[in-house]
Structure 1
Amino acid sequence: MMVVSTVLSVMAYDYPPEKLAVYLSDDGGSELTFYALTQAAIFSKHWLPYCRNYKIEPRSPVAYFKSASRPSNTKHDQDYTNIKKLFEEMEDRIENVMNNGRVPDELRLEHEGFTEWDSFTSPKDHAAVVQILLDQNEDAEGHSLPKLVYLAREKRPDHFHNFKAGAMNALIRISSKISNGPIILNVDCDMYSNNSDTVRDALCFFMDEEKGHEIAFVQYPQCFENVTKNEVYGGSMRVLREVDFHGLDGNGGPLYVGTGCFHRRDILLGKSFDGESRIDWKMENDHKETQENTTEELKNLASCTYEIDTEWGKEMGLKYGCPVEDVITGLSIHCRGWKSVFYNPKREAFLGVSATTLDQTLVQHKRWSEGDLLILLSKYSPAWYGLGKVTSGWFLPFAYIIVSITAFDYLEFLRCGGTTKGWWNDRRIWVYKRTSSYLFALIDTILGSDLSFVISSKVMDNDVQARYEKEMMEFGVSSPLTTTVATISMLNLVCFVGVVMKSMLMDKVTRGGYYETMAVHVVLCGVLVALNMPLYWALFVRKDKGKIPDSVTVKAVFHALFISTVFFFL
């Protein structure tokens, strides 16, 4: 239903529907997802007229029915009741099929596309599936509907598929034959459209008479609807969204962050800036072919072998070989002379789901940092591409830097709408990411390990949801990342307790000299212990399923005591 609502939200943009084409990339090739999309196509014939007639926001059905109150107008209230009933019936049909685990034979007869799964092997071994569900169709009031296309590119065990970048490149090729629009919007399945004017807003930048020809992409911020008041996992990207990305407009523009981004198609295909490059908005698209002639062509474009001995993933499309394919693609576009724009409207353009457990947060940042390290070593590295070197030998004292940066960071966080507790939680996650996610990413990068694209789960059960809403940190999995965080936190506690006990055994004069030389160390260790209080609570007090597993507790305590003992004797 998350996928269905995201699809419907972008189909319902306040923009001529005959100029819109929506493509769903289902990299798992699931007949269940295809069934859900067929139901979305049917429901769209009623949903789009309702959105158009009553100018509702947001246009994601799940989000709308969750937040909207019953209309006071009698006609609107009746239509609201009818559309909500249709939505709930669709939801029940999809959930019944999901619970069944397969699409029943009688439902498979409803669409010829289900025959594609007759020879389906597995999510990692299957032929390409391309199905056009809506094309020149009309809604319940006789207005045009956007095109709606389902794609599952071919997957074979002996062909590396290049993760999200490979899926995006297949979409670029497929869409060039079906709609060939000059502008491409890329949205993740969990980032629904929250503002129906977003397309028009983005086009204002591309169509600007003075600067539009310089712009390669327009990036909207990632905003999340499920972030708690005090941001227990520091997942709001608040300062990045409100400060940092705005500042990048003075340096060629923001990074491409993988979702909520409008691209010029020709630039994604490798075009370099020449000062005269403008979009021909009146160009005639060459996709007016009969579907009978293009079905096999489309499947060929999504095959495993199509990209062999081509420039796809190198000079064309999204870049391969990096876990953060979006960032390196955006940097390569900037390196070809193009600029980008960051637009952060008052009403969020897209709303998504942030990580709801510590493990999800750490795994996600491990992947991001692996990619960032690879970019640092690449030819697109900001460390040397187009930048000078620092020549001044004068630096402010370290203490001044720490205090001033921390104070500035705190004030910046508050200015962007955060809370003091939210900033404190953000500092905790900052420490955890740098002592686990970034550490493991560095090790994997140095050792040249096989970098896998790990997808963070956005689905949680009721217990996890309840704890998340109470801002209780979720530790309930055993992994190298959580074990590392727990071990370092225990080491901080052991060291702090050891310092306090040692000072208590000293006479007054000796204690004064001890604290004089160790003051900074003691304060830093005390701050770390204070930051880690939720973790200690999860180690030794909590009894719910979100506590730190006993196996992790044993490892953390043993490792901390062992390390402390070794250094004590050294």
Structure 2
Amino acid sequence: MKSEYDKLVRRIEDADETTLLRQGGGEFAEFMDAKRTNHRAIVKVIWDNNSKNRIGEEGGFPHLIYVSREKSPGHHHHYKAGAMNALTRVSAVMTNAPIMLNVDCDMFANDPQVVLHAMCLLLGFDDEISSGFVQVPQSFYGDLKDDPFGNKLEVIYKGLFYGGTGCFHCRKAIYGIEPDSIVVGREGAAGSPSYKELQFKFESSEELKESARYIISGDMSGEPIVDISSHIEVAKEVSSCNYESGTHWGLEVGWAYGSMTEDILTGQRIHAAGWRSAKLETEPPAFLGCAPTGGPACLTQFKRWATGLFEILISQNNPLLLSIFKHLQFRQCLAYLTLYVWAVRGFVELCYELLVPYCLLTNQSFLSKASENCFNITLALFLTYNTYNFVEYMECGLSVRAWWNNHRMQRIISASAWLLAFFTVLLKTIGLSETVFEVTRKEKSTSDGNGQNDEVDPERFTFDASPVFIPVTALTMLNIVAITIGTWRAVFGTTEDVPGGPGISEFMSCGWLLLCLLPFVRGLVGKGSYGIPWSVKLKASLLVALFLFCSNRN
């Protein structure tokens, strides 16, 4: 099996346009001149269910349609949100199903009954029109034990956020319609949307407007589309790069634009419109995906998330505003805010983390001494927070090691990915730079076929020359220097006559932080991908020297 797979990989890598043209003929003609960022819309019906077995018959298979939306250097394609909107329009004119499922390309269905389970939730409410979407928590195959890189977010997923994949959406909700305005036998409700309303929201395609009218009005009595091949030209029209101009796509209709985390923003807009959502957990997991491993991929992903979430926080989509002026419940508002403040937390936590080494370096203190009564309050707060966090992980069925891995990774992510996200959005806000969409690399670990991993230690943190490692490397160096100087003073009694010097609280705080940053302590002396590159060490050393200089001046 492995040799056959390797052979297939080589065939794909060796394929070129000439080979495709010779073997595929006219079927591949549209791909010949296509460039990654500049090509016309391509729509291919790979499998037409109406011309083969019916879905209900044994061996039946649903429609399979390849869609590549038009791209042009002169038009912003809005990344994943733009792709999802193009797919939404194409599916509307070709099948117009009232329920949509979106799954990322690195995930697959693991439970054949998942659609049935989702339909039970979507159609099982007393008020069916208030069921906006059903989210399946992300699960991963071949993942590392105890989540060493803290990217599964299993505790956070207790909420009902739209996670961008593994989600069943009601098409009505995606079209930006509030539940109270949908007509399904409600007294006093308005009729079907007018032509002007549809024109304003969905643009000029008659087929798209007609399909939207059926969905919005709840009138699904129309004849199903039999010959989907006859709608290819219409599908190309609605997936063109300038189709959305002058419409509400990306604003009030479809996946929302304006943030790198289009999934969270879209889910928030659906909740703010008054829709409800549900979480679907099955055994076995409904979908399985691939989680990023290693330091660079993990921190890149968290930086992109934090950047997008902070963009939402400082925009007109702030959940506090939606809670006041729309239908976002206050509890939902608080839940979204816990995510949106990631980048702000990065800056605030850095200031707090710098305060401890500053006190050790300048022979000062800001925490209570062990002999003071206030020390018990400080200790109680520390124990209460960590105990509560620990209990959360136990309630989710996770191990003690998983709790510790996520705790230390939160400190690392806060001082690196979240911090850079804060400054990235800050620079964008004042007009000095633009945010860049960074794709997360998800690499599979290699195996020799007997379950033995070729990597020496796949759970160990890896590094590269990315700027995301500079601040946390500098923080690690600074704490090592600070605790060394502080210990020297305490041991050799150079602070006996100095009142207000650091106490056990400062030493415990510094030691606890270094324990959380242990992967970077090891990285300072590591080699290869397990060692921090010298370019990062040099830049971090300059930051530490600058901090020491400023501390001595005060």
2: CA distance between counterparts of 1:300 and 1:266? 22
Q: Is the Cα–Cα contact under 8 Å of residues 21 and 29 in structure 2 kept in the other structure? A: no
Identify which of 145, 148, 164 aligns with 2:61: 145
- Give the corresponding residue for 1:172: 88
- Give the corresponding residue for 2:14: 100
1: CA distance between counterparts of 2:411 and 2:321? 28
Report the Cα offset of residue 466 of structure 1. Answer: 4.2
Report the Cα offset of residue 569 of structure 1. Answer: 3.8
1:200 is aligned to 2:116:
yes
Report the Cα offset of residue 411 of structure 1. Answer: 1.9
Provide closer, same or farther for how the CA distance between residues 523 and 285 of structure 1 changes in structure 2, counting only shifts above 3 A.
farther
1:471 is aligned to 2:459:
yes
1:288 is aligned to 2:201:
no
Report the Cα offset of residue 383 of structure 1. Answer: 3.3
SS of equivalent to 1:340: strand
- Give the corresponding residue for 1:263: 169
Provide closer, same or farther for how the CA distance between residues 417 and 408 of structure 1 changes in structure 2, counting only shifts above 3 A.
same
1: CA distance between counterparts of 2:130 and 2:140? 30
1:351 is aligned to 2:288:
yes
Superposed, 1:224-243 pairs within 5 Å as 224-241=140-157
SS of equivalent to 2:155: helix
- Give the corresponding residue for 1:440: 420
- Give the corresponding residue for 1:537: 522
Q: Which amino acid aligns with 2:437?
A: F
Report the Cα offset of residue 340 of structure 1. Answer: 0.6
- Give the corresponding residue for 2:484: 497
Q: Is the Cα–Cα contact under 8 Å of residues 413 and 423 in structure 1 kept in the other structure? A: yes
Report the Cα offset of residue 168 of structure 1. Answer: 0.1
- Give the corresponding residue for 1:409: 389
- Give the corresponding residue for 1:185: 101
Provide closer, same or farther for how the CA distance between residues 519 and 115 of structure 1 changes in structure 2, counting only shifts above 3 A.
same
- Give the corresponding residue for 2:46: 133
Percent of aligned pairs sharing the same letter: 29
Provide closer, same or farther for how the CA distance between residues 556 and 106 of structure 1 changes in structure 2, counting only shifts above 3 A.
closer
Provide closer, same or farther for how the CA distance between residues 341 and 161 of structure 1 changes in structure 2, counting only shifts above 3 A.
same
Q: Is the Cα–Cα contact under 8 Å of residues 129 and 299 in structure 1 kept in the other structure? A: yes
Q: Is the Cα–Cα contact under 8 Å of residues 90 and 235 in structure 2 kept in the other structure? A: yes
Report the Cα offset of residue 422 of structure 1. Answer: 2.2
- Give the corresponding residue for 1:330: 267
Q: Is the Cα–Cα contact under 8 Å of residues 102 and 165 in structure 2 kept in the other structure? A: yes
Identify which of 397, 400, 404 aligns with 1:424: 404
Report the Cα offset of residue 164 of structure 1. Answer: 0.3
- Give the corresponding residue for 2:195: none
- Give the corresponding residue for 1:518: 503
1: CA distance between counterparts of 2:301 and 2:233? 37
SS of equivalent to 2:529: coil
Q: What are the Cα deviations for residues 141-179 of structure 1, in whole angstroms up to 9, with x where unaligned? A: 973221111111111111110000000000000111222
Q: Is the Cα–Cα contact under 8 Å of residues 155 and 304 in structure 1 kept in the other structure? A: yes
Identify which of 310, 319, 335 aligns with 1:373: 310
Report the Cα offset of residue 324 of structure 1. Answer: 0.7
Superposed, 1:103-122 pairs within 5 Å as 105=19, 108-110=22-24, 112-120=26-34, 122=35
Report the Cα offset of residue 138 of structure 1. Answer: 4.4
Q: What residue ranges of structure 1 are gaps of 5+ in the alignment?
A: 1-84, 246-253, 391-395
SS of equivalent to 2:478: helix
Provide closer, same or farther for how the CA distance between residues 266 and 111 of structure 1 changes in structure 2, counting only shifts above 3 A.
farther
2: CA distance between counterparts of 1:493 and 1:274? 60
Q: Which amino acid aligns with 2:33?
A: S
Identify which of 72, 79, 86 aligns with 1:156: 72
- Give the corresponding residue for 1:309: 246
Q: Is the Cα–Cα contact under 8 Å of residues 97 and 103 in structure 1 kept in the other structure? A: no
- Give the corresponding residue for 1:272: 178
Q: Is the Cα–Cα contact under 8 Å of residues 99 and 170 in structure 2 kept in the other structure? A: yes
Q: Which amino acid aligns with 1:215?
A: S
2: CA distance between counterparts of 1:462 and 1:520? 45
Q: Is the Cα–Cα contact under 8 Å of residues 124 and 156 in structure 1 kept in the other structure? A: yes
SS of equivalent to 1:223: coil
Report the Cα offset of residue 239 of structure 1. Answer: 1.1
2: CA distance between counterparts of 1:275 and 1:384? 22
Q: What are the Cα deviations for residues 528-553 of structure 1, in whole angstroms up to 9, with x where unaligned? A: 1112222121211x223332212222
Q: Is the Cα–Cα contact under 8 Å of residues 97 and 104 in structure 1 kept in the other structure? A: no
- Give the corresponding residue for 1:564: 548
2: CA distance between counterparts of 1:175 and 1:508? 73
Report the Cα offset of residue 194 of structure 1. Answer: 1.1
Report the Cα offset of residue 282 of structure 1. Answer: 5.9
Q: What residue ranges of structure 2 are gaps of 5+ in the alignment?
A: 185-214, 324-329, 335-375
Output the TM-score relative to the length of structure 1: 0.75
Q: Which amino acid aligns with 2:288?
A: L
Q: Which amino acid aligns with 1:534?
A: P
- Give the corresponding residue for 1:46: none
Report the Cα offset of residue 407 of structure 1. Answer: 0.9
SS of equivalent to 2:86: helix
2: CA distance between counterparts of 1:145 and 1:536? 54
* Number of equivalenced pairs: 463
Instruction: Tell which deviates more after alignment, 215-224 or 453-462.
Output: 453-462
SS of equivalent to 1:216: strand
- Give the corresponding residue for 2:204: none
**What is the root-mean-square deviation in Å for CA atoms of aligned residues?**
3.0
2: CA distance between counterparts of 1:93 and 1:174? 35
Q: Is the Cα–Cα contact under 8 Å of residues 125 and 131 in structure 2 kept in the other structure? A: no
SS of equivalent to 1:200: helix
